[in-house]
């Protein structure tokens, strides 16, 4: 019997991102859809909360679904200066809660650019206390900095895959990679196009070598012969 995971993406459309003209709800909807795809591929039974729905409806759906894990998915914000990394919050510090929380934190935190937080415990958040399932409240990264905002927007599929890897690790399920693997995590830094002037070198072989090095470093590069 497949393990059941309920995904509850943020409904906070008023939380604006530092870049991209977008918001927390729009991006968390995308992350949840990517996680749904990855988790389903790995054999989990997954239910995705309707975009913009209330926390109360989400928790009722999760309980009716008999979820093993209830996962609110959010992105964080602080002072528009701090790129703070991944945060996972739990309702209590039981062995199973900690085990599940650490599996998720380790997987998502591994790819997020900021310094990650330790597991935190909150009793005042509805989506932590209300669900019957173990609730893992995920704050992916800080969206009020350029670094964090760019990283989230450029790594939707990678975040979804990381969520799936975390759940596979917790439940002891074999992770199944997509047929076409997601790209390596993008730092959000713009890549530059380099033109290498062949005439500046003693021969074209040296120009080819420089282009090869630039491409291995992640830049676009071509040889300009004019």
Question: What CATH number is associated with residue 129?
Answer: 3.40.630.40
Please tell me whether residues 43 and 110 are part of one structural domain.
yes
Lowest-pLDDT choice from 31-40, 52-61, 91-100, 209-218: 209-218
Note the pLDDT tens digit of each residue in 12-54. Answer: 999 999 999 999 999 999 999 999 999 999 999 999 999 999 9
Domain membership of residue 104 as a residue range: 4-171
How far is it between the farthest Cα atoms of the chain? 72
Q: What percent of the chain has pLDDT over 70?
A: 79
pLDDT of residue 226: 44
pLDDT of residue 117: 86
In this structure, is residue 183 part of a structural domain?
no
Please tell me whether residues 84 and 18 are part of one structural domain.
yes
Please tell me whether residues 204 and 163 are part of one structural domain.
no
Structure tokens at 108: 């998502």
Please tell me whether residues 137 and 215 are part of one structural domain.
no
In this structure, is residue 199 part of a structural domain?
yes
CA 124 – CA 131 distance, rounded (Å): 13
In this structure, is residue 178 part of a structural domain?
no
Q: What percent of the chain has pLDDT over 90?
A: 77
Q: Mean pLDDT, the chain, as a whole number?
A: 88
Residue 190 — very low, low, confident or very high, per pLDDT cuts 50/70/90?
A: very low
pLDDT of residue 209: 65
Lowest-pLDDT choice from 133-142, 191-200, 207-216: 191-200
Please tell me whether residues 164 and 204 are part of one structural domain.
no
In this structure, is residue 176 part of a structural domain?
no
Question: pTM, whole model, 2 decimals?
Answer: 0.80
């Amino acid at each position: 019997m497949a393990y059941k995971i309920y995904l509850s993406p943020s409904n906070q459309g008023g939380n604006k991102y530092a870049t991209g003209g977008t918001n927390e709800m729009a991006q968390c909807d995308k992350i949840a859809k990517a996680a749904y795809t990855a988790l389903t591929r790995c054999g989990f039974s997954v239910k995705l909360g309707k975009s913009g729905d209330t926390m109360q409806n989400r928790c009722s759906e999760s309980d009716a679904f008999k979820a093993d894990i209830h996962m609110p998915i959010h992105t964080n914000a602080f002072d528009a200066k701090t790129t703070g990394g991944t945060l996972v919050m739990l309702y209590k510090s039981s062995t199973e809660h900690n085990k599940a929380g650490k599996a998720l934190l380790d997987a998502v935190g591994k790819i997020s650019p900021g310094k990650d937080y330790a597991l935190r415990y909150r009793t005042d958040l509805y989506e932590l206390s209300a669900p019957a399932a173990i609730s893992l409240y995920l704050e992916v990264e800080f969206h009020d900095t350029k670094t964090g905002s760019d990283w989230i927007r450029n790594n939707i599929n990678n975040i979804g895959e990381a969520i799936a890897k975390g759940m596979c690790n917790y439940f002891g399920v074999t992770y199944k990679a997509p047929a076409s693997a997601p790209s390596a995590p993008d730092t959000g830094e713009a890549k530059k196009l380099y033109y290498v002037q062949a005439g500046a070198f003693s021969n074209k072989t040296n120009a080819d070598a420089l282009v090869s090095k630039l491409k291995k470093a992640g830049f676009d590069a071509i040889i300009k012969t004019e």
